Chains A and B, each alone.
Chain A
């Protein structure tokens, strides 16, 4: 089973603000982990570290037993491309691409896809997984917020990553769509993906396998 192991992560900004204070966490495949906390607690910073979107001031990050925190920039980009999928609060869909074409975006740089037809086929399969088959040819402007976020989830699955990292994925959605998204993420966890969600929304708790609370850059003990 693959995992992400973060050990003693410290992140200091501008030599003044310590956003993370020796945080350690493990995310295994098949788990749905939630990190909660108020704004400014450091939870988003933790996700940035885990997702290799930024590098820690000190500490290590192992993905599938490989220390990735010391790799050069391009190598880190490759790790993100192969092993990680992201879902952000703002959906960030390209308005000029149809729903399935947005899903194709990460595939364009994946050499495992031989041609566009292969990418299209896979993209439409993923659109089907998130329950939007009938909306595959629609542009983001023609989709609701919840539908757009589902497309973003499909995009996160484009290169079949081991882990999905989500930052406030339901921050812009109503309660009905929240349920849809959380259910979807839970299903992905049950299918073997490692899911880490950062959120302040307590309705996610019923989906989580493990819950952590962050406060002032310190990760509290696991709840549950």
Chain B
């Protein structure tokens, strides 16, 4: 039986169907559930997983041995083995350079010909770059995940990669409110050189015996004099909203470059008369914080607790773990999953009942069709085609509803703060989910009909003789 003939019969039968409206509503809801709920659930979970896998969320610190009597232990060649032997500990290393730069300012941008191109475009606006590119890191999970240009593993020293976009926010000093927010692309900066002024704030430790203590170290925060250096922008990496823990985005450099810059800062500080202050910091391997890394964000708190129990002065990296984000993910995930499953379950039940009742009510009609020569398979295809027609209509209506909703959500979130920007659905993802939703609402009636095909086969042609 040709598809046109089937379509003709299916359309006619649908006209008289008592349940088609209910079935179509459930199909529309299924489309919406799959595209919206599953779509945003996926974004939330992916963002959260990305975030949870970041090294910085899995790290704690151990301070050097303190000076006080019965003071806490520090990491030494004798104690480092104890730390590494703990379950879930991946590494224990001297605090990676750089420490937290107090101030980082971009003072100039030059092109390949060394021509000053600062402030010639929105992207080269020095104020915006300085505000938007908050920190400089080397130990990042994104160090070689460039989307354009060259990764740092292939680039020479004193190179850097930038986030593909950064957010510039203008905050009113009096009220503290954001008065302007702009997203700026950095793609045009590939190949250019940025001049950076950096002032380090270091957590410096000095041997206690220099201050009259028998053992241990004394710690204090020390500002180093400003240094200036140049970095060549060799690539851009995908700015993941999850990495912007404090709302900013990072200039990434290689470990070698970071160590070189820090040596520059320390050498400069020594030159300017800070030699005595920095002597232990520079020359004593254990006059530093040590960073312990766990295999999972879920284990770091337990590791720190164990270390404290062992007498170490240990703690988690404060301010990096956003508990509210984790809580939101959990709640949204739970509610979203429940709603999606509920909608799909109700759709299955509804369609199954519709098919079942449809067959029962059309017994005489099916009997007549068999009497005039229709086979069970032909009747099956005709009934399935009725559901395909409903599915196509549901896809169109549900698709439009979902698209409008996604458009509104995306517009709101993309112009929102960094946390909101996490929840923007790419249109390619939406289209893929829409295709999946269509598949779902095609498969459900097919499965229901296949289960009921025995009932269709059971109807005998002589049913047509029963009035």
Contact = CB atoms under 8 A, between A and B. Distances in A.
A170 interface: no
Given A96-B16, A109-B5, A109-B378, A48 B462 contact: yes
**In the complex, which range does the number of interface residues on chain B fall in?**
20 to 34
6 contacts: A54-B462, A88-B371, A96-B15, A101-B12, A109-B5, A159-B373
Interface stretch (A32-40, A76-84, A178-186): A76-84
A144 B283 CA distance: 109
Closest A-B pairs by Cβ, 9 of them = A81-B373, A90-B467, A108-B5, A96-B12, A106-B372, A53-B461, A53-B462, A96-B15, A96-B16
A109 B464 contact: no
B8 A116 contact: yes
B368 A92 contact: yes
Interface of A: 44, 47-48, 51-54, 73-74, 77-78, 80-82, 85-86, 88-90, 92, 94-97, 101, 105-106, 108-109, 115-116, 155, 158-159, 167, 172
Interface string B64-100: 0000000000000000000000000000000000000
Contacts of A95: 16
Contacts of B374: 77, 109
Contacts of B462: 48, 53-54
A52 B373 CA distance: 10
Interface of B: 1, 4-6, 8-9, 12-13, 15-16, 364-365, 368-375, 378, 460-462, 464-467
Contact of A54 (B6, B375, B378, B460): B460
Nearest to B14: A96
Chain B interface, DSSP helix/strand/loop, else mixed = helix
A69 to B, nearest CB: 15
B372 A86 contact: yes
A83 B370 CA distance: 14
B60 to A, nearest CB: 72
Contacts of A155: 372
Given A92-B364, A167-B465, A109 B371 contact: no
B204 to A, nearest CB: 87
A87 to B, nearest CB: 10
Contact of B373 (A48, A77, A116, A167): A77
Contact of B8 (A54, A77, A108): A108
A52 B465 CA distance: 13
A89 B465 contact: yes
A121 to B, nearest CB: 15
B364 A90 contact: yes
Residue of A52, A78, A88 with highest tally of chain B CB at under 10 A: A88
Nearest to A52: B461
A167 B464 CA distance: 10
B16 to A, nearest CB: 4
Nearest to A78: B373
Contacts of B368: 86, 88, 92
B372 to A, nearest CB: 4
A86 B371 contact: yes
Given A77-B370, A80-B373, A96-B16, A108 B460 contact: no
A96 B13 CA distance: 6
Nearest to B467: A90
Contacts of A172: 467
B255 to A, nearest CB: 74
